[in-house]
Structure 1
Amino acid sequence: MTIRLLGIFAGLGLTAVLVLWSLVPGLVNFAMPEKPEYYAFQEANIAPEGGFSFEGPLGTWDTQQLQRGYQVYKEVCSACHSLKYVAFRNLEDFGYTEEEVRAEAASWTVPGINQETGEAASRPGLPTDQFPSPYPNEIAARAANNNAVPPDLSLITKARKDGVNYIYSLMLGYTEPTAEDLAKSPDFETPDGLYFNEHFYNINIAMAPQLTPDRVTYADGTAATPEQMAADVTAFLAWAGEPSLIHRKQMGWFVILFLLFATGLAYLSKKQIWAELKSKKD
């Protein structure tokens, strides 16, 4: 009996040590994060007025906004950024018909294979294809972007802290450093080939400002201001990162209601069972 108790306590002690070993470093890093040499001058991200429609427990996708965001991605972002985890057929999720998806896919050129020679070739896209990369390889991407590889945007809102607000802020963060900014880092400078962005983590970014007024012409007549385009493309990228977001929220409410019903049913069952036992005892 004594040996068994010692074994149980030893196991519990080892478990506690392992739990502390895994939690303590994370808590320390959270409490005392390392500061990089340069950091974003505007540490608080901004958000569009009224926020995004998909935020909150009752959020929904704004299909018109997603279509506008896709247009911004296609006409602006796709020149440098890939979307490799999203297929053309997924566009049906926010209002495109099968015929429209087929036509949209065909407007893109994707890598393929010549069926006669077996050599690499290009062909019009199919609904089952993923969005293609604008560059054949990493070397070509670096050569075209001052040695910086443009990140894939499929999961960008999930990969960055404060995802959607960060992307929205980044798109609008191209300004000139103020005196207060320079006071935070007197030795700061923007090298040739880079651009100052007050919301970018390292401040100097290789991507030039993209969302100039009327850069795109929206099919629904919405005014293409930088703020509007930034909000639209951010919403589209949020959808690309988690297309099932709204379905997951709706399922969560169903699960909560089911658990509340099951809890009430269990409570009533308990009352009935114990009432019978109590009456027998009396």
Structure 2
Amino acid sequence: MIRLVGILVGLGFAFVSLLAFVVGAYNQATEPAAETAEYAFHEPAHNPRGGFSFDGLAPRWDVAQLQRGYQVYKEVCAACHSLNQVSFRNLADLGYTEEEVKAEAASWLVPGIDPNTGEASTRPGLPTDRFPDPYANEVMAAAANNNAIPPDLSLMAKARHHGSAYLYSLLTGYQEPSAELAERFPDSVPGPGLYHNPYFANLNLAMAPPLTTTGQVTYADGTEATVRQMSQDVAAFLTWTAEPSLVDRVSMGWIVMGFLLFVTILAWLAKKNVWASVKPRRED
């Protein structure tokens, strides 16, 4: 009797759970989602005019652009954002010579230990060092940025959907909230210390526009440093930091596909040759 009651109770729980699932699934499928400011006013990321050199089926790195992007990161972004998954020696992949890499590394101060006192200090960087964090800890980072800790940018292009386009769109997308947004969703209007950007997930972020005027960076190659140009260059650089093997990986993919096609044709010809002398059986 007790066993029968236990079975019935279990079946009852199973039935209720199944019923709740079916009702919830039906409501989810039939009821329209509540309209939110993020849904109504969020803009999809877009590539700059002409796109990036590493897009498409035959990608390549524009080395000059990557060097410009590194310059933008160094002179603008590095004040708040770390790049702690990248070493100075990796800059050799951007066309810098060994001496230039050493000079670039030495232009940065990295955490070290004073050999005389054993206390924490800073020293010029070495090619084997990674890019230093601009803040000693997260508490300091939050205090300097309206309680918002600036994320590390090493893998940002992979951490966001359409990463390269997202970074470009975000940097060029700062604007005043529209009157329609203020009327329909007054709570979504940015408050003190926040800035409206329709390409950001919740439309408002704590980072002030980092690129604001033409000539904010003076490019060594003479390229005019407009806001869109700087945004495109640093987006390309951060794509390289996130996926330095992107171009090689696509090239290897084409080689593998060509090899597989060759092997398939070879196997088909071998099959034809092996069975050439065998006549199909005829049925009377």
User: Which of the five TM-score ranges fits, normalised by the shorter chain?
Assistant: 0.7 to 0.9
> Structure 1's 44 and 183: CA in aligned 2 closer, same or farther, altered over 3 A?
farther
The CA distance in 2 between the partners of 1:40 and 1:154, in whole Å, is: 31
Match of 1:210 in 2: 210
Match of 2:4 in 1: none
Aligned partner of residue 266 in structure 2, secondary structure: helix
Question: 1:164 offset after TM fit, Å?
Answer: 0.9
Match of 1:92 in 2: 92
- Per-residue CA distance 1:88-138 (angstroms, 9 max, x = gap): 111111110000000000000000122233321111000011100000000
The amino acid of 2:234's aligned partner reads V
- Is contact 1:105–1:127 with CA below 8 Å preserved after alignment? yes
Matching of residues 185-224 of structure 1 within 5 Å: 185-212=185-212, 213-224=214-225
> Structure 1's 111 and 95: CA in aligned 2 closer, same or farther, altered over 3 A?
same
Q: How many residues end up aligned between the 2 structures? A: 253
Match of 2:45 in 1: 45
> Structure 1's 164 and 33: CA in aligned 2 closer, same or farther, altered over 3 A?
farther
> Structure 1's 98 and 47: CA in aligned 2 closer, same or farther, altered over 3 A?
same
- Is contact 2:37–2:181 with CA below 8 Å preserved after alignment? no
> Structure 1's 35 and 258: CA in aligned 2 closer, same or farther, altered over 3 A?
farther
- The higher radius of gyration belongs to 2
- Is contact 1:40–1:199 with CA below 8 Å preserved after alignment? no
Match of 2:109 in 1: 109
The CA distance in 1 between the partners of 2:34 and 2:45, in whole Å, is: 20
Unaligned runs of 5+ in 1: 1-24
Match of 1:251 in 2: 252
- Is contact 1:75–1:216 with CA below 8 Å preserved after alignment? yes
The CA distance in 2 between the partners of 1:37 and 1:230, in whole Å, is: 26
Question: 1:216 offset after TM fit, Å?
Answer: 0.4
Match of 2:156 in 1: 156
Unaligned runs of 5+ in 2: 1-24
Q: With structure 2 as the length reference, what TM-score do the two structures score? A: 0.83
> Structure 1's 34 and 100: CA in aligned 2 closer, same or farther, altered over 3 A?
farther
Q: With structure 1 as the length reference, what TM-score do the two structures score? A: 0.84
Which region of structure 1 is more displaced relative to structure 2, 42-51 or 52-61?
42-51
Match of 2:56 in 1: 56
Match of 1:241 in 2: 242
> Structure 1's 87 and 40: CA in aligned 2 closer, same or farther, altered over 3 A?
farther
Match of 1:231 in 2: 232
Match of 1:275 in 2: 276
Question: 1:51 offset after TM fit, Å?
Answer: 0.5
Runs of at least 4 residues of structure 1 off by over 3 A? 32-40, 180-184, 276-281
- Is contact 2:68–2:234 with CA below 8 Å preserved after alignment? yes
> Structure 1's 161 and 133: CA in aligned 2 closer, same or farther, altered over 3 A?
same
Q: CA RMSD in A?
A: 2.3
Identity %: 60
